[in-house]
Chain A
Amino acid sequence: EDQVTQSPEALRLQEGESSSLNCSYTVSGLRGLFWYRQDPGKGPEFLFTLYSAGEEKEKERLKATLTKKESFLHITAPKPEDSATYLCAVRRNTGFQKLVFGTGTRLLVSP
């Protein structure tokens, strides 16, 4: 059964304090690992898609990496506006894009 586990559940950082969020997954035939950001009371907002081990993508202070078993979302010198819940999801090798989501990491960045 496809499974996605995110850790930690919650993370509190000081502004400028870099850290990483983890997404461990088991899926038969990975066809993409997705990172989304979700602000309170809003829908998830797409950040990155990673397809193969070794792939990396960056956007502003965020960098996503992928191995065969896990993905990391590295946050460099975070700002308070980076506070949100970060969701990870995987898509398996089937005909339709059914995403399996993790439960998310709630990030709070204090000034």
Chain B
Amino acid sequence: NAGVTQTPKFRILKIGQSMTLQCAQDMNHNYMYWYRQDPGMGLKLIYYSVGAGITDKGEVPNGYNVSRSTTEDFPLRLELAAPSQTSVYFCASRQEGNEQFFGPGTRLTVL
């Protein structure tokens, strides 16, 4: 199993551009999560999903959107990128009752 994979690893965006961060897992996990990690701050939950077609907001959803059309994929969409969205983004997944498994992260810089 590849586990949780994320693409791209790095990206630089200009203010106002849009992009999609990809996340996929091959463990058949129902639950998937998007976090952002800023220096000196804990991981903050952006959005989560409990299964295909079901998503909900986390602590810091503004400026982001998600979709979950399959069990495997959970892309995160940034519309109109802003410098405040410069961060490292982590995707995670889990099965019922178990711990979360994290991907390797996407480092995003908005200039």
Which residues of A are at the interface with B, using a C-beta cutoff of 8 A? 4, 34, 36, 41-46, 49, 87, 89, 96-104
Are the C-beta atoms of A96 and B42 separated by less than 8 Å?
no
Are the C-beta atoms of B48 and A46 separated by less than 8 Å?
no
The stretch from B12-20, B62-70, B79-87, B94-102 touching chain A is B94-102
From B31, B90, B103, B104, give the contact of A97 (CB < 8 A): B31
Are the C-beta atoms of B43 and A101 separated by less than 8 Å?
yes
Proximity bits, B37-50, A CB within 8 Å = 1, else 0: 00011111100101
Closest A residue by C-beta to B41: A103
Known: A43-B105, A98-B58. 9 other contacts (CB 8 A): A43-B4, A43-B104, A49-B99, A87-B42, A96-B48, A98-B45, A98-B48, A103-B40, A103-B41
Q: How large is the interface on B (under 10, 10 to 19, 20 to 34, 35 or more residues)?
A: 20 to 34
Provide the residues of chain A in CB contact with B41, threshold 8 Å. 103
Give Cα A45 to B82, complex, Å: 29
Contact of A43 with B103 at beta-carbon distance under 8 Å, contacts A97-B31, A101-B43, A103-B41 already known = yes
Are the C-beta atoms of B105 and A42 separated by less than 8 Å?
yes
Are the C-beta atoms of B42 and A102 separated by less than 8 Å?
yes
Minimum CB–CB distance for A37 against chain B, Å: 11
Closest B residue by C-beta to A44: B102
Minimum CB–CB distance for B61 against chain A, Å: 13
Closest B residue by C-beta to A95: B50
Minimum CB–CB distance for A20 against chain B, Å: 20
Are the C-beta atoms of A87 and B45 separated by less than 8 Å?
no
Are the C-beta atoms of A100 and B90 separated by less than 8 Å?
no
Are the C-beta atoms of A101 and B42 separated by less than 8 Å?
yes
Contact of A44 with B42 at beta-carbon distance under 8 Å, contacts A34-B99, A97-B31, A98-B58 already known = no
Provide the residues of chain B in CB contact with A101, threshold 8 Å. 42-44
